[in-house]
Amino acid sequence: MTNPKQPSEIAREALKLLAERKLPPTPANYQDCYCEISGHPMMAAFPEKNLRKIALALSAKDPEQRELLDHLDAAIGRRSWHDVENVLSEFFRVVSSSPQIDDADKSAENDDLAITDTAELFKQIANMIECVLPALESVDEPFSKKIESLLCSLRNPASDIHSIQAELGNFNHRLLLAAEEQDAIKSALLGLLHLILENVSTLIVDDRWLKGQVDALLTEVKPPLDLRRLDDVKQRVLDVMDKQSMVRGRSLEAQEEMRVMLAAFIERLSTMSESSTTFQGKIEDSAKRIENVKTLEDLAPLLKDVIQTTREMAEETAKERDALKALQAQAVATETEIAKLQQELVRASNSARHDPLTNALNRKGLDEALVREIANMQRKETPLSVALLDIDNFKKLNDRLGHESGDAALIHLVNVSRQNLRPGDTLARYGGEEFVILMPDTMLDDGINSMQRFQRELTKSFFLAGDEHVLITFSAGVAQFAPDESGAEAIKRADKAMYMAKRAGKNRVLGG
């Protein structure tokens, strides 16, 4: 009796047989060759697909049954017949031991409840479809009729659920196409807006006030768009427009003044020219008369006339010179005033509601945001929280690395905050190294968690000062607004909590 072959030998020979027969090295072909060499009967492949269909057909009535079905899914994944058998046996034992509801009335009642729940669900789906219809913009007539048919079916309790499912499938496909189209349109419009703004900024020469508007818009129209951000840009541009209107009006007045001064200047030159011509005529006449003088007595009155004429000319010239100097002084004063107004316009464009260093909101912008958010909180009856944060050891950082590095550290903190806070949150520089963050629709605990996440992200983003990596941390206090509380009162409570966080060791967040 020959010794049985080892599995490793059978495996090698099976691979050789695959190569000799030029068969694809699939699991099924390998199994055929292996069984042929070993002399064992063909083993059926593990029916994973069929078993998973069976598992999906089984429904769990309670947590215990759900856990057993999870075990069954894991056993199928391991391709273990033994485990599948054990789990199925246990599952059917638990199902058979569960109390069965034989009461026909109760079964009918459950069916009625299921029908009622389904009808209510369909109504909600119909309402949802009506809400998203505006996003489809204009729809063609055939699809519009399909939508009307779908809405009628959803609101009809006698509708067949399978037909509704088919209609919903068609609607979902069209909705997906519309969403993709709207996204593409939005991206194209944003790109076009960026192109227009950049070209406007390039084409308009020596309008420094425009730069602030363009920079703000280019920053705020980056996706994801947010109504609060756009509203803030609107307020900034309105401020600049007010200043611009004032400058334009004053410029028109200055242009009129310059026109009047230029006309007066030309008139003065004309007068001087006429006076010079008259003077020249008198001198020429006196010269001719002098040529005919025979005696010294006749020369004396002529010299007296020449001296008088010269004196008059000198006085007239001095008077015109003084008048021209006055015109020049007035022109310089007007030009200085216009330059001052232009500087004010530039400042208004860059920092009407924003801190010029960090581009976060300044105190004025924060006051307006507080009014807006408190009004929203009271109208919608939603929570509103505020955080006051202060950079730890900022004075030491300034003293050791210099004020430029300190300014860069503030900018770094603001940039990290914008990457981690929600689009609807409002960031403002409260003063020095202190910042305020308004968090709408946020309870106190959620506000504390948000600031703690911000702290963790800030510690991951080292600030680079020259060649040195500097870790920046902050301490923060968070307060949730009371229904009738003012912004100053809530910030004061957050400030007290921040002070306690500093006392507790810094780099932490406390609620107030």
- pLDDT(474) > 80: yes
> Rounded distance, CA 64 to CA 276, Å?
118
Winning range, highest mean pLDDT, from 14-23, 303-312, 315-324: 14-23
Measured torsion, CA atoms of residues 59, 62, 63, 66, in degrees rounded to the nearest 10:
-10
For 144-166, the pLDDT digits (tens) are: 777 778 788 888 877 777 777 77
For 451-462, the pLDDT digits (tens) are: 999 999 998 887
Percent of the chain predicted with pLDDT > 90: 19
- pLDDT(493) > 80: yes
pLDDT band of residue 88 (cuts 50, 70, 90) is: confident
Q: Per-residue pLDDT averaged across 12-37, rounded?
A: 76
Query: Is-contact 409 463, C-beta < 8 A?
Result: yes
Of the two residues 243 and 357, the one the predictor is more confident about is 357
Measured from the Cβ of residue 255, the count of other Cβ atoms closer than 10 Å reads 12
DSSP state of 421: S
> Rounded distance, CA 89 to CA 309, Å?
136
- pLDDT(426) > 80: yes
Mean pLDDT of the chain: 75
Among 53-62, 230-239, 330-339, 399-408, the range scoring the smallest mean pLDDT is 230-239
Per CATH, which fold does 251-351 belong to? Helix Hairpins (1.10.287)
Structure confidence at residue 342 (pLDDT): 67
Q: Which CATH superfamily is domain 363-511 in?
A: Reverse transcriptase/Diguanylate cyclase domain (3.30.70.270)
> Rounded distance, CA 171 to CA 161, Å?
15
> Rounded distance, CA 300 to CA 296, Å?
7
Do the first three CATH levels of 251-351 and 363-511 match, i.e. the same topology?
no
Structure confidence at residue 118 (pLDDT): 72
Structure confidence at residue 205 (pLDDT): 45
- pLDDT(486) > 90: yes
- pLDDT(478) > 90: yes
Q: Residue with structure tokens 């028109």?
A: 252
- pLDDT(423) > 60: yes
For 199-249, the pLDDT digits (tens) are: 555 544 445 555 555 665 665 555 555 555 566 666 666 665 666 666 667
Of the two residues 305 and 366, the one the predictor is more confident about is 366
CA-wise closest residue to 438 among 358, 495, 366:
366
Q: Delimit the domains of the chain by residue range.
A: 7-96, 111-186, 251-351, 363-511
Structure confidence at residue 485 (pLDDT): 92
